[in-house]
Amino acid sequence: MSETKLRELICVLAKSMFDRGLTGGSTGNISARTDDGGLLVSPTGTSFGRLDPARLARFDANGRFIDGDKPTKEMPLHSAFYDTRTTTGAVVHLHSCHSVAWSMMPEVDPDNFLPPMTPYSIMKLGKVKLLPFFMPGDPAMGAAVRGLAGKRSAVMLANHGPVVAGTDVEAACNAIEELEDTAKLAMLMRGYDAKMLTAEQVNQVVTQFNVEWEK
């Protein structure tokens, strides 16, 4: 994909998520790998609803900032995924309401943040790791992702928001939306005796769709 088209696609997808309330105000950030190995990154303090393709921060293949507005302060998060997962072509971070709410619930499993409610969250996300609370912009968030050694494509920052890596920007956006939808289902079903997927059904999904699923 040409850089011009990638710039436009990043902004279209970001606006779509903003318009549907998946992240508000000037929250959230997004990045994508260019064909030459560089990165396009949303600028700091910008709204997903009003990103300008021409003003995205641009990094070269060596990680040097070369053009555009100042990038998001959450660059350590993005860099951690690119550096530890060779398949990463894009990273998205949102402040989506239901996933943040679910991160506050006492019954959440930190090693497997989302309950087994649908096959699609398993297929698109694998196991999601719940990380502890960090101050916004703290480089320790990136260090925590690096500590996972590339074994997870998605993490949830407690009381903050999800971060998802995908093979390309559309895959990353689709996956993070699946994360938010599953967290919404979990909140809706909280307190009910809901029927989750069985361990056997989860294993069938993992096997049939070749899902990364750390035991």
- Positions annotated as catalytic residues are 120
Place of tokens 């994360």: 179
User: What sign does the dihedral 210-37-11-17 (CA atoms) show?
Assistant: positive
Q: Which two tokens stand for residue 171?
A: 């895959």
Spatial strand order in the sheet of 129-131: 65-67, 57-59, 39-41, 29-33, 90-93, 161-166, 154-157, 129-131
Of the candidates 198, 174, 167, the one whose C-alpha atom is nearest the C-alpha of residue 32 is 167
